[in-house]
Structure 1
Amino acid sequence: MIQPHLSVVVPVFNERDNVTPLINEITAALRGLVAFEIVYVDDCSRDDTLDVLKKLKADVPELRVIRHVSQSGQSTAVRTGVKAARGAWIATLDGDGQNDPADIPKLLAKRDESAADVKLFAGWRVDRKDTGSKRWASKWANAIRSRMLRDATPDTGCGIKLFDRDAFLDLPYFDHMHRYLPALMQRAGWKTVSVPVNHRHRASGVSKYNNLNRALVGLRDLRGVAWLIVRSKRTAVEEL
């Protein structure tokens, strides 16, 4: 088996109708471009998402399927996929199909032209296809986060990202950490870049979040991340 250079990690929970079209788009975007694998992490779905994934494995040799025994949330699912991944670089996508896999080559091209200390390329949804209330909530959340963390990132909630696997696994882990990756990467001494990407309407299924829950959890997490940044300590090292 060829060692993949890129692992595409997709966390899913109750997304049975979005699995097949999204996997088809991933393979269409990446076959012939880069050695890759697709790592789906099923977060204990209650529908037949897992059955759909199992059937697809016969036709998609790049596909690997991991299942959480108990529901653990998106951040844990992403970390599970990254830990299992064999690629040195990770691309993440939301399982609802709103991220466009055709943007992954764009992120790879941006990486290839960037300095070696840029370890995260974050998608930036410049034309979001969500409801008005969701866009409004995200606008204020991004403004508050940016003011508190000074991460110079216009959109941390976008699911499509490209990052160095080792750099990610060196970050402090906590629930909902996937929303703060730019700030956490910068805290670790790495640079991050935001890249405009496509965004699409959800074709089927329902969102797993609501604005109130996201806001309440976000305020608590912001305080925690701000504390981590203040308490961080980095130093250059040399071997003699």
Structure 2
Amino acid sequence: MKRLSIILPAKNEAAALARLLPALRTAQPDAEIIVVDDGSTDDTRAICEAHAVSCLSSPYSMGNGAAIKRGARAAQGEWLVFMDGDGQHDPADVDRLLACLHEGYDMAIGARDWGSQAGVGRGLANTLYNWLATRMTGHPVLDLTSGFRAVRAEKFREFLYLLPNGFSYPTTSTMAFFRSAYPVAYVPIKAAQRVGKSHIRPLRDGLRFLLIIFKIATLYSPLKLFAPASVVFFLLGCLNYLWTFNHYGRLTNGSTMLWSAAVIVFLIGLISEQITALTYRRDD
């Protein structure tokens, strides 16, 4: 049996950790458990000490993704499990994720159902992300943003340099695994109501989540985003030309600009595709 490390990023989650850590230790008695304290001001460290759990503390908050990277670097296990420290994830589901790694998958993700989404807005946003990621990769993506996942450590560490310090590490890591042809599995789970208040703020993080949509494309295949946009500009140019020719009998600057935009957008996509290929190039 490979040694397992369970990593929990936490910021002011002492109340949830007080219940989660003993349940997690009971479910996985032989696992290395690491709580990454992201600048907490509560009793997170004391709770970890009380349950004999390793705690990596930061003097200030660096972000959820930064906590994931710190934990992944410090973990000793060959298999890593990432769980939210807010009590949403059931320790009993860890074995279900690990079963997928036993079957040969490199990443197993806990896929939440609609009832487990944190509100209608978040549910609709996640549905959009899943649809777009499925279209981009050609594989069913059931929960792109789930923070509950099991991975092979050596594969996950290949992409640490790509992971952002914020909340979109699940999106980045999932698309990186698909791009590198590492098999990904989804395991249906039920997520409980979190303990305490969420650290995600719709107004503050709205633009950040909007950028996830573009990141999905650029992390996998930029041309799949830029090529259709180029075609749209080209067709708009053709429609504008037909309208102006019928009314004025000539070619206008509007059509020329739309056709030029089509060429420019396509070339940007082509260059982005080459950059993406270089990003995933490995020098073994």
How does the TM-score come out when normalised to structure 2? 0.71
CA distance in 2, matches of 1:189, 1:145: 15
| C-alpha distance after superposition, 1:112-168 (max 9, x if no partner) | 2x23xx210011012415333332333234334444555531112222100011111
Which stretch has the larger CA shift, 47-56 or 22-31? 47-56
Does 1:139 find its partner at 2:127? yes
**CA distance change for structure 1 residues 191 and 226 in 2, over 3 Å: closer, same or farther?**
same
Give the conservation status (yes or no) of the 8 Å contact 2:88–2:191: yes
Give the alignment partner of residue 84 of structure 1, picking from 62, 68, 74: 74
The number of equivalent residue pairs is 224
1:195 and 2:187 correspond: yes
Distance in 2 between the 1:165 and 1:143 partners? 28
Larger radius of gyration: 2
Provide the C-alpha distance between the structure 2 equivalents of 1:10 and 1:236, rounded to a whole number of angstroms.
29
8 Å contact kept, 1:107–1:121? yes
Deviation (angstroms), 1:45:
0.8
- Please say if 1:49 is aligned against 2:40: no
- Structure 2 Cα separation of the partners of residues 102 and 125 of structure 1: 15
Identify the residue that residue 110 of structure 2 maps to in structure 1. Answer: 123
Instruction: Determine the structure 2 residue equivalent to 1:95.
Output: 85
Percent identity of the aligned residues?
25
SS at structure 2 position matched to 1:232? helix
**Aligned match of 1:60:** none
Give the secondary structure class of the aligned counterpart of 2:70.
helix
Contact 1:12/1:42, CA 8 A, preserved across alignment: yes
Gaps of 5+ in 1: 58-62
Query: Taking structure 1 as reference, are residues 160 and 181 closer, same or farther at Cα in structure 2, changes over 3 Å only?
Result: same
Displacement, 1:99? Answer: 0.8
> Structure 1 residues 228, 198: CA separation in 2 closer, same or farther (over 3 Å shift)?
closer
Unpaired runs of 5+ in structure 2?
222-275
Does structure 1 conserve the Cα–Cα contact (< 8 Å) formed by 2:163 and 2:172? no
Contact 1:151 1:183 in 2 (8 A): no
Shift of residue 24, structure 1, vs aligned partner: 1.2
Report the CA distance between 1:48 and its aligned residue: 2.2
Assess if the C-alpha contact under 8 Å between 2:38 and 2:63 holds in 1.
yes
Match of 2:59 among 65, 69, 73: 69
Instruction: Give the superposition deviation at 1:205.
Output: 1.1
Alignment of 1:1-240 (within 5 A): 5-31=3-29, 35-57=30-52, 63-112=53-102, 114-115=103-104, 118-126=105-113, 127-128=115-116, 130-148=118-136, 150=138, 152-171=140-159, 172-175=162-165, 176-202=168-194, 204-230=195-221, 231-232=276-277
Greater per-residue helix proportion: 2
Code of the aligned partner of 1:162: A
Partners in 2 of 1:210 and 1:149 — Cα distance? Answer: 29
CA distance in 2, matches of 1:236, 1:83: 19
1:177 deviates by 2.2
CA offsets 1:22-71 (integer angstroms, 9 cap, x no match): 1111112112xxx31101000001222222223332xxxxx211011221
Bigger relative contact order, structure 1 or 2, given CA contacts below 8 A and separation 6+? 1
What do you get for the CA RMSD once the two structures are aligned?
A: 2.5
Q: SS state of the match for residue 71, structure 1?
A: coil
Q: Is the 8 A contact 1:129 1:200 kept in 2?
A: no
Shift of 1:4: 6.9
| CA separation of 1:48 and 1:192: change in aligned 2, threshold 3 A | same
